[in-house]
């Protein structure tokens, strides 16, 4: 895997996933280091000349009018980190923390934050050596940025707090020593620059957006398998139907469904068995497509945010004076763009689960399943089959409806009303991640049921080539349910295949497309 170069301007969501999940190494470009050094010169001149600038020679938040002497600046930065590291709850997953570290380094590399090059370098070294700070998941208001979560990262950088290293949870100082690294002693502006930004919500959001795109295509795959098990009518996916509406995501979903169903011996045409299917089959492109469009919007917002400078104050260089420039207090740390996008992402994923559960209900309900045995099992009564599988799906869908309530419409003033409107963007991102996980499980349940239905029909050879490839991949991990057995391991195995993208890869490879 190639090293990802941190430029500060062109990181992608895929880069975030490669670093966070797959351990890709990162390095700072020479141009980025030069920009960081230039902005640092402005900070040092400000301190030397005792200019009054927020966060450099003053306190923070409500204390912005309290002037801090140059001799106390190191203590000011350390105190900031210690006092703000007040997160609570379970630790964020390591991948989310690694994504935070990568995004914070990327933001600092743009050169508007005033940190020393060696401080950014220390953050990169921690990332490359696999030292992962323990960051509690709760405590951010989403403005002034993700103060509490990022403070736990900065705390570890300074040798305080806790980290995970090589599978062990250790005091940060021990973890750094074991990795051959030294704690950072912060200088003027650096504490604020490390914690004032949207990198927690954006890290969680970037990984969620990455997964959501895969989930939307997996939803099409699940619908294609269910459509075949239920002898669905393919006319509803006709290109002309979707062209006259003109919704991009809908047309993309319908095109993928047509490709997935090409060559199937199990689908029907309108009038052969019935004139119309229920909405869960007939309107799959309309519902899935709307979620695709929403995910596309989220992708755009997050893609911009991962290359954004979101701390405060910001330093803008004066080309005519190497150590001069403007230091401007603004509000780029406010997470509202990400907050709205994450709420939208949660809703989009919840809808993929909603319609999936309705297809699952049609598969297990003998009044709706076109002749399939009740609850997809032989000797019904003695065996319950997939009866409670549908209960689980219904439970997850209902939970998603609660979680889909937007966080971004809430705000609680903080810092003695100096910070009187906040985004709750990190709550929105965490909820979107939960909804996505629930939706993935619902789709796994539908796929298990659809494959069971195909087996009961003894019709796997009638599946289209791409859905047959997905069917075989699932069956390599989960056998048919001949009679009642403990099923939660089956659900876990199927959900893992969806998380990994294995079913979707199998289908796309059969279509001759790129791996997901």
- Identify the three-state secondary structure at position 440: helix
Torsions phi, psi for 152 (to 5 deg): -70, -35
Alpha helix stretches (DSSP H) within 109-146: 117-129
Is residue 5 within 8 A of residue 27, CB to CB? The reply is yes
**Does an H or E element contain 169, and which?**
strand 168-171
**Which of 309, 313, 302, 323 minimizes the C-alpha distance to 32?**
309
Is residue 148 within 8 A of residue 200, CB to CB? The reply is no
Is residue 54 among the annotated active site residues?
A: yes
Q: What is the DSSP letter of 58?
A: B
Is residue 234 within 8 A of residue 190, CB to CB? The reply is no
Q: What is the DSSP letter of 369?
A: S
- Identify the three-state secondary structure at position 290: helix
**Which of 41, 66, 38 minimizes the C-alpha distance to 53?**
66
Torsions phi, psi for 227 (to 5 deg): -60, -40
End-to-end CA distance of the chain: 17
Is residue 206 within 8 A of residue 104, CB to CB? The reply is no
Which residues is 67 bridged to in the sheet? Answer: 58
Cα dihedral 329, 330, 335, 340 in deg (nearest 10): 170
Q: How many residues does the chain have?
A: 516
C-alpha span between 377 and 14 (Å, rounded) = 42
- 166 Rama class: left (phi>0) / alpha (psi -120 to 50) / beta: left
- 167 Rama class: left (phi>0) / alpha (psi -120 to 50) / beta: left
Which is catalytic among the residues 54, 165, 237, 299? 54
Alpha helix stretches (DSSP H) within 117-247: 117-129, 147-157, 172-178, 190-195, 199-229, 239-243
Do you find a cis peptide bond into 231, omega within 30 degrees of 0?
no
**Does an H or E element contain 489, and which?**
helix 488-500
Residues designated as active site: 54
């Amino acid at each position: 895997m190639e090293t990802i170069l941190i430029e500060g301007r062109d990181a992608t969501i895929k880069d975030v996933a490669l670093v966070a999940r797959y351990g890709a190494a990162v390095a700072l470009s020479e141009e980025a280091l030069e920009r960081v050094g230039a902005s640092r010169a402005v900070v040092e001149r400000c301190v030397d000349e005792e200019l009054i600038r927020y966060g450099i020679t003053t306190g923070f938040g409500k204390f912005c009018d309290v002037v801090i002497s140059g001799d106390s600046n190191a203590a000011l930065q350390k105190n900031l980190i210690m006092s703000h590291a007040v997160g609570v709850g379970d630790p964020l997953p390591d991948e989310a923390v690694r994504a935070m570290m990568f995004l914070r380094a990327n933001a600092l590399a743009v050169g508007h934050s005033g940190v020393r090059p060696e401080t950014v370098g220390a953050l990169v070294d921690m990332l490359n050596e696999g030292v992962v700070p323990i960051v509690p998941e709760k405590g951010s208001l989403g403005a002034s940025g993700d103060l509490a979560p990022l403070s736990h990262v900065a705390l570890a950088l300074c040798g305080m707090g806790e980290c995970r290293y090589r599978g062990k949870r250790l005091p940060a100082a021990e973890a750094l020593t074991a990795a051959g690294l030294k704690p950072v002693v912060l200088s003027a502006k650096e504490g604020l620059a490390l914690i004032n930004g949207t990198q927690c919500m954006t890290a969680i959001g970037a990984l969620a957006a990455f997964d959501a795109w895969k989930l939307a295509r997996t939803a099409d795959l699940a619908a294609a398998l269910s459509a075949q098990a239920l002898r669905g009518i393919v006319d509803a996916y006709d290109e002309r139907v979707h062209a006259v509406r003109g919704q991009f995501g809908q047309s993309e979903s319908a095109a993928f469904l047509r490709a997935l169903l090409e060559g199937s011996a199990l689908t029907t045409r309108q009038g052969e068995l019935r004139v119309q299917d229920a909405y869960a089959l007939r309107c799959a492109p309309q519902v899935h497509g709307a979620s695709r469009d929403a995910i596309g919007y989220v992708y755009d917002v997050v893609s911009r945010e991962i290359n954004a400078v979101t701390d405060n104050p910001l330093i803008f260089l004066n080309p005519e004076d190497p150590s001069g420039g403007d230091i401007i207090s603004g509000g780029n740390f406010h997470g509202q763009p990400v907050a709205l996008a994450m709420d939208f992402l949660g809703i989009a994923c919840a809808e993929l689960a909603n319609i999936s559960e309705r297809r699952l209900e049609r598969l297990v309900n003998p009044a709706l399943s076109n002749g399939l045995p009740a609850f997809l099992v032989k000797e019904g009564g003695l065996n319950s089959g997939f009866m409670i599988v549908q209960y689980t799906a219904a439970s997850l869908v209902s939970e998603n409806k609660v979680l889909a309530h937007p966080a971004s419409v809430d705000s609680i003033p903080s810092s003695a009303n100096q910070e009187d409107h906040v985004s709750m963007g990190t709550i929105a991102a965490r909820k979107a991640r939960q909804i996505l996980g629930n939706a993935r499980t619902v789709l796994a349940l539908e796929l298990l049921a659809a494959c069971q239905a195909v087996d009961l029909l003894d019709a796997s050879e009638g599946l289209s080539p791409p859905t047959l490839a997905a069917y075989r991949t699932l069956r390599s991990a989960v056998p048919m349910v001949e009679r009642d057995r403990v099923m939660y391991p089956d659900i876990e195995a199927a959900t893992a295949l969806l998380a990994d993208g294995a079913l979707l890869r199998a289908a796309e490879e059969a279509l001759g497309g790129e791996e997901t």
